[in-house]
Amino acid sequence: MIGNMLSKIRKEKRITKTKLAELTDINIGHLTHIEKGERNPSHKALKSICNALEIPYQELLYTYDKELTDEQIEYDYINYVPYNKIPAFSNLDSFVDCPAKFANASFAYKVPDDSMEPLIKEGSYVYVEQNALLANKDVGLFYYNDEFLIRHLLYKKDKFVLKARNKEIKDITVSRNDNFYFIGRIYL
């Protein structure tokens, strides 16, 4: 996935591979292998590429060993991964112990509502792996039109649908005009 992300970002910024090779002192052939997903960049190379593309290094590091499925490619999943944004916290409650079985968790998030009950209780903490790939029906943390939501992700007719467990809460069909990002996978 990291190669897909780097290729997407480079093209969005209208930087040629030749120019990126000059800026990073990385061979253009090696950059091509990285973008095709045939090789992962070293951490040093990734930092250099991120500096040249003027994007945060850590956010891309979360995508380092992930591979997109055919379904994720078909649904343009990569367009909803925030590579140049980082979580902003206005308040930290405390530290919570992270169970060993959730070793890939990036942070804990306190559930603000009953949208996922009885699966996830309001007020409990969930463990989030930032920028983890979500398969169909996985539970994730999403940013949708200026709101953070915990929902099941459904792939339906080339659209993403966010589904709550609470039957009183309507499904959300994500459109291209929505301000929408995948934050990460929720470990249950």
- How many whole angstroms from its chain centre is CA 100? 22
Residue 61 parent element (H or E): helix 57-61
Sequence ranges of the domains in the chain? 2-67, 100-187
The SS3 assignment for 57 reads helix
- The token duo for 42 is 């070293």
pLDDT score at 125: 93
pTM, rounded to two decimals: 0.83
Q: 46's torsion region: left (phi>0), alpha (psi -120 to 50) or beta?
A: alpha
**In degrees rounded to 5, what are phi and psi of residue 85?**
-130, 145
Question: What fold, for 2-67?
Answer: 434 Repressor (Amino-terminal Domain) (1.10.260)
pLDDT in tens, 70-79: 888 888 888 8
100-187 under CATH 3.40.1190.20, yes or no: no
